[in-house]
Chains A and B, each alone.
Chain A
């Protein structure tokens, strides 16, 4: 792979963060914390890695992303819209009656979603099965599965962890599978460490037979390099521990369990968008005059405030 255009990916991730905040504010519910922690990973995957065709979401040779931590689907919707699976204007229908943008991923409702997830712990098993099916078909397509740290408390994850490096051996090893842990250290009820600590997480996965890479999950260059290494690793699937910050990019959301599953109110959303774009409070009025797309999103949120 060519070196990533870091600035472009960072700009895309910022735009997606804005959309995450926007759609959650319009929905009035949802999960900003984990959506913001996983977005740099999803951005790097969709815009510097995956082979896909939004016009043919069922193209057999496509790479697959299974977002096992399904509650963070606003992040996936934001990259899918940007990639052309559906118009960005549809993002504000998130969680609304009749929308294909269900509160958690629904494969049958939205082309491009690979599996229904949201009941935690199931995505890795599905991904192992997909990787195996692709290997049996001699396909070069790859499977990327993203799990959460709280999710890793589910027993099924460890059933699949045991199977990943062994299934299909020796003829069809699942080296087409890459598992990424969005390690944001927080779950619904509080800090993972306090509720049911995962540590030592690297040692656990190594003992289960997975090559493990550890990266900063907000650094697109590190993400991309790790994906390169995963692709170059033969004979076994790879596990990437992506250290992330829950709520990344919004000061009042970062590292606060309260923002696991509460949507920002319109005024909070506007402040969050300003922070994501790196604009000071004082400069905000002038900035909005120069950025018409953001101005439209802000105006929409101001109208929402009044209703």
Chain B
């Protein structure tokens, strides 16, 4: 499989699922070409609603559609959709409306457009709501399965997708399950938890670490909420060191969730790699290198963490 952006895989999955499930509708706010619902909109113009550049209204209309039995995918850039947090909080979460919130353009990896278009705080915001699972798939296979899961899931859900292409990382025969993570590479010295756009970099980082004699266990934490606590605790207990790698603010995202888990249940030395400043314009690779989220940066941080 060639690399594919999770937003592209989402668009394909939606089109496929919609052919046999007429409950599926989309609500967009003038970004359907970017969120990749455009294919669905062309195939099902009577089920695709573009409300214009009005994200709060988009979220509310999605809630209303859900309350009449539709399964709406409400889509925008992660920063814009979660930017309407108060509408999500009331009209979707507290109302318990069966809305599938889709935030694309996650993180600094969107590159040149710069900070204003980068979803960097969305996980932290949505995590604070008690009833919205957060899924950030790591490749095409996982994305398509997560979209199918989202359709069947009763209740609101947040899907976080990338603009950039993602290398295939899912093992053969992989089946997505909510609240389950998967070990992509077994190791004994350190646990690396990555999600979405950083998974393949974590795997490449682990390869570099192996050359230094460090055996890293790499886990794809596609489910940020609920976390696969059992797997994470088992791995942390084994390796004694945990590193989280995410294209999101270091506050409140995957690293925050893992820190909360470990400090309460199994205090374990932890390093959280992520974004601790505003983003900026630049090429995606250069930005990942600057923020230490590329394979070299990840390997470097792990070695320092382990005092090697």
A: residues with CB less than 8 A from B are: 60, 106-108, 114-119, 121-122, 124-134, 136-137, 139, 155-156, 159-160, 162-163, 167-168, 171-172
Cross-chain contact A130 with B67 (CB below 8 angstroms): yes
**Bound state CA distance, A172 and B25, in angstroms?**
14
| 21 A-B pairs whose Cβ atoms sit less than 8 Å apart in the complex | A60-B68, A60-B69, A106-B94, A114-B67, A115-B97, A116-B94, A116-B95, A125-B64, A126-B95, A128-B60, A128-B61, A129-B64, A131-B64, A136-B70, A139-B68, A156-B57, A162-B57, A163-B51, A163-B54, A163-B57, A171-B46
**Bound state CA distance, A132 and B63, in angstroms?**
11
Cross-chain contact A125 with B61 (CB below 8 angstroms): yes
Identify which of A114, A119, A125, A131 contacts B86 (C-beta below 8 A): A119
Cross-chain contact B49 with A155 (CB below 8 angstroms): no
Q: How many contacts between A and B, using CB within 8 angstroms?
A: 115
Shortest Cβ distance from residue A306 to the other chain B in the assembled complex, whole angstroms: 37
Shortest Cβ distance from residue B49 to the other chain A in the assembled complex, whole angstroms: 6
Cross-chain contact B68 with A159 (CB below 8 angstroms): no
Cross-chain contact A129 with B87 (CB below 8 angstroms): no
Cross-chain contact A133 with B96 (CB below 8 angstroms): no
Cross-chain contact B89 with A119 (CB below 8 angstroms): yes
Chain A residue numbers with a CB within 8 Å of B64 are 115, 125-133
Shortest Cβ distance from residue A295 to the other chain B in the assembled complex, whole angstroms: 39
**Bound state CA distance, A170 and B289, in angstroms?**
51
Chain A residue numbers with a CB within 8 Å of B70 are 133, 136
Shortest Cβ distance from residue A219 to the other chain B in the assembled complex, whole angstroms: 30
Shortest Cβ distance from residue A162 to the other chain B in the assembled complex, whole angstroms: 7
Interface size class on chain B is 20 to 34
A108, closest chain B residue (CB) = B96
Cross-chain contact A125 with B57 (CB below 8 angstroms): yes
**Bound state CA distance, A122 and B61, in angstroms?**
9
B45, closest chain A residue (CB) = A171
Chain A residue numbers with a CB within 8 Å of B89 are 119
Cross-chain contact A118 with B69 (CB below 8 angstroms): no
**Bound state CA distance, A115 and B89, in angstroms?**
12
Chain B residue numbers with a CB within 8 Å of A134 are 68
Q: Give 10 nearest A-B pairs by CB, closest first.
A: A129-B64, A125-B60, A133-B68, A159-B57, A129-B61, A159-B54, A130-B64, A116-B94, A126-B64, A116-B95
CB-CB under 8 A for A116 and B91, given A136-B70, A159-B54 = yes
Q: Which of B46, B59, B61, B96 has the most CB of A within 10 A?
A: B61
Shortest Cβ distance from residue A166 to the other chain B in the assembled complex, whole angstroms: 9
Whether B56 sits at the interface, judged by CB under 8 Å, is yes
**Bound state CA distance, A116 and B67, in angstroms?**
12
Shortest Cβ distance from residue A208 to the other chain B in the assembled complex, whole angstroms: 13
Cross-chain contact A132 with B65 (CB below 8 angstroms): yes
Whether B286 sits at the interface, judged by CB under 8 Å, is no
**Bound state CA distance, A108 and B94, in angstroms?**
8
**Bound state CA distance, A216 and B95, in angstroms?**
32
Cross-chain contact A133 with B65 (CB below 8 angstroms): yes
